[in-house]
Amino acid sequence: MNASAWQMLFDGAWTTLWISAVSIAIGVVAGLIIALIRLARIPVIDQILVLYISLARATPLVTLALFIFLSAPTLGFGLDRSVAGILALTINTTAFNAEIWRSGFRNFSRDQREAAMATGMTPWITFRRIMLPQMIITSLPGLINEMSFLIKGSPAIAVIGVVDLTRVTNRISAVTYEPLPPILVACALYMVIIGALVWLQRLAERRANRLAT
């Protein structure tokens, strides 16, 4: 592999990273908002959210990415490939994160909540000051796990033409006629990214356990 091949690989890795990072950032927050809305059990809205979550979790990422990319023009607007990719990844990961946050709410100590209410905290202050800081710690292992899944699933967006870390290996071997070296490097790069997340997850788990005792 020559210098330009390396350059292409790192560009692909960067594309995978930033598109995943944007999707994760939006997905973690949007998942929390959905979990919060679901707490209110508003009729119709709750059913819509349940439907969204089951559909988003059941649809393969490749299918979802294609669907978004192809349906946008028929709805009257074209989508940039990257934006369509981010949209697909976000729709997918938000649904999983919503369930992670929801179980965080469900498992939160009723005793602690009552203690907060008893001091005169409103439900919102109780959420902001007492529940959320602890839920972040207890939900983080699950959220990071979902981040790894998202990154491992991200090559799906190649189907709409985004040149990510997986897709770029194809392009390189089309020139060099040596498919193995770029794919090996790509594997190594994925391992570095996922390895970092696994390490973070372990840290997060240790913190979560410390809070529980």
Binding site for another protein (CB under 8 A): 109, 111-112, 114-123, 125, 129-130, 133-134, 137, 210-211, 213
What residue has token string 């919060």? Answer: 36
Nearer to another protein, 89 or 135 (CB): 135
Nearer to another protein, 71 or 112 (CB): 112
CB of 49 to another protein, least distance (A): 22
CB of 120 to another protein, least distance (A): 3
Nearer to another protein, 42 or 48 (CB): 42
CB of 136 to another protein, least distance (A): 10
How far is the C-alpha of 96 from the C-alpha of 100, rounded, in Å? 6
Report CA-CA distances (Å) from 107 to 112, 162, 212. 11, 39, 12
Burial class (CB in 10 A: 0-12, 13-18, 19+), 32: buried
Report CA-CA distances (Å) from 52 to 29, 64, 157, 158. 16, 13, 20, 24
Q: Spell 112-131 as b/e; 16+ CB within 10 A means b.
A: ebeebeeeebeeeebbeebb
CB of 206 to another protein, least distance (A): 14
Nearer to another protein, 53 or 135 (CB): 135
